[in-house]
Amino acid sequence: MDRFIIQGGTPLEGSIAVSGSKNASLPALAACLLTSEQVSLDRVPAVRDIQTMLNLVKHIGAEICVEKAAGKKSRITIRAAEIREPEAPYDLVKTMRASSLVLGPLVARFGRARVSLPGGCAIGARPINLHTSGLEQLGARIRQQHGYIEAEAPEGLRGADIIFDRITVTGTEDIMMAAVLARGETVIRNAAREPEVVDVAGLLTSMGAQIEGAGTPVIHIQGVATLHGASHTVIADRIEAGTFLIGGALTRGDLAVTGCVPEHLRALIAKLRQAGAEVTEAADTLRVRTPNPLKSVDVTTEEHPGFATDLQAQFMALMTQAGGISFITETIFENRFMHALELARMGANIRLEGRQAIVAGPTPLSGAQVIASDLRASASLVLAGLAAKGEAVIDRVYHIDRGYEKIETKLAGAGARIRRVSAK
């Protein structure tokens, strides 16, 4: 398993270009199953979760072609002319729970699906009951046995008025992808408003779907008989962009993050400014500097447009260097503070009380050997390593490879002393 060796203490300077969004690309790949025609996707990031999803849609029966023109971003073309195997097997789903995104498209296009239950996850139970109850309301028969969800709708799906008990990002995407081929109108209430939901709605619309209201809490969908092929460029990865912005502030650098969408990062930008960082924005660029000492601010994670849970771990690393007490409250997942224990090993002063982490700063961070537990926790440890004195060793960076494209190359390009070594 690879590890990162980081010599901390150098500020991030210059610029880092953001890749396409992992969390917009995953539903987009699933959406390709809804048509027998070719769909082309640009700016899909080359990260492990994408490879897992490509393996899954190939297993189901799609033909995949990855075109890599020299010096250009890769283009992925997918054609699910026929569905050979409407199933997401355990050995694929266990490595990536977002595999449940094929549930809706398979039932809608093929009339049945067999998807392994995702099983446990480091950050929380993360059930998919809202996905299956939405499909039931669209007329699918759902059974659970041998660790699999089996969904059937031999007569096709019919539109329904669905209200989610709680906001779910991939649940909204899954049900939206099922409803586009259902007979009649579907209304999704208490829908997720994340930019990734809006992006996959844009792809579906370009494929011929009729969707109104994506990005608001109520989405109206008029079912159509079939969808056709399309070409689509996925949006920038706002979590990757936010991660680098926080890194620029944490290392007291002067960093421009390019190719991003400032509108998708309003909550983070506000918190960085409250903490005393200077954030300036141009069209697709955000620049961060910290001319003054950082101040502690409180953060509560919320569904979009609130402060993203996927940036909570990274922001906690920043608060270890801010003067005062910061209360960080995680409202989305029940166990998303594992990075706190590793940050403490580097010198952070963090007390955990249920859903709240209390960070007292600033405390000097010193490099240590730490272990990554999930995708965003590992990003937090990398950022802390960049700001720490001495050498930090981060094990199990396969977590970080799931969602960040060449992170060590991008950071080194902005002055970080970071290298990857393959642990025997």
Q: Tell me the catalytic residues.
A: 121
171 binds ligand EPZ (CB under 6 A): yes
Cβ distance to ligand EPZ smaller for residue 196 or 405: 196
For 228, the token pair is 């056709």
Nearer to ligand EPZ, 87 or 330 (CB): 330
- Using the minimum distance from each CB to ligand EPZ, give the nearer residue, 122 or 341: 122
- 287: nearest Cα among 230, 322, 249: 249
**Please, which of residues 17-36 interact with ligand EPZ by CB under 6 A?**
23, 26
Pairing of strands 13-17, 254-258: parallel
Nearest CB to ligand EPZ, comparing residues 80 and 311: 311
Contacting residue, 120, 127, 184, 364, with ligand EPZ by CB under 6 A: 127
Tokens read off for 131? 């996905």
Other C-beta atoms lying within 10 Å of the C-beta of residue 221 = 27
Burial of 403 (0-12, 13-18, 19+ CB in 10 A): buried
Among 63, 65, 120, 129, binds ligand EPZ (CB under 6 A): 129
Q: Of residues 320-349, which lie at the interface with ligand EPZ (CB under 6 A)?
A: 332-333
Q: How far is the CB of 144 from ligand EPZ (least distance, A)?
A: 13
Nearer to ligand EPZ, 129 or 292 (CB): 129
Single-letter residue type at 215: G
Rounded distance between C-alpha atoms, residue 206 and residue 210, angstroms: 9
**130 near ligand EPZ, rule: CB under 6 A:** yes
Nearest-angstrom CA–CA distance, 169 and 239: 15
Report if residue 16 touches ligand EPZ, rule: CB under 6 A: no
131 binds ligand EPZ (CB under 6 A): yes
* Length of the chain as a residue count: 424
15/52 with CB nearer ligand EPZ: 52
- The nearest distance, CB 108 to ligand EPZ, in angstroms, is 18
Q: CA 229 from chain center: how many Å?
A: 25
Q: Which of 52, 170, 251, 320 binds ligand EPZ (CB under 6 A)?
A: 170
- Token pair listed for 253: 């650098």
Residues 6+ apart with CB under 8 A from 176: 104, 188, 197, 200, 201, 204, 211, 214, 219, 221
Q: Which of 48, 376, 399, 410 binds ligand EPZ (CB under 6 A)?
A: 376
186 near ligand EPZ, rule: CB under 6 A: no
Q: Using CA atoms in the order 33, 376, 218, 86, what is the torsion angle rounded to 10 degrees? A: 20
14 binds ligand EPZ (CB under 6 A): no
Residue 238 touches ligand EPZ, criterion: CB under 6 A: no
Kindly give, in sequence order, each residue whose CB lies less than 8 Å from that of residue 16, ignoring residues fewer than 6 positions away: 244, 255, 256, 257, 258, 410, 411, 413, 414
> Which residues of the shown chain bind ligand EPZ in the complex (CB under 6 A)?
23, 26, 98, 124-131, 166, 168-171, 196, 309-310, 332-333, 375-376, 403
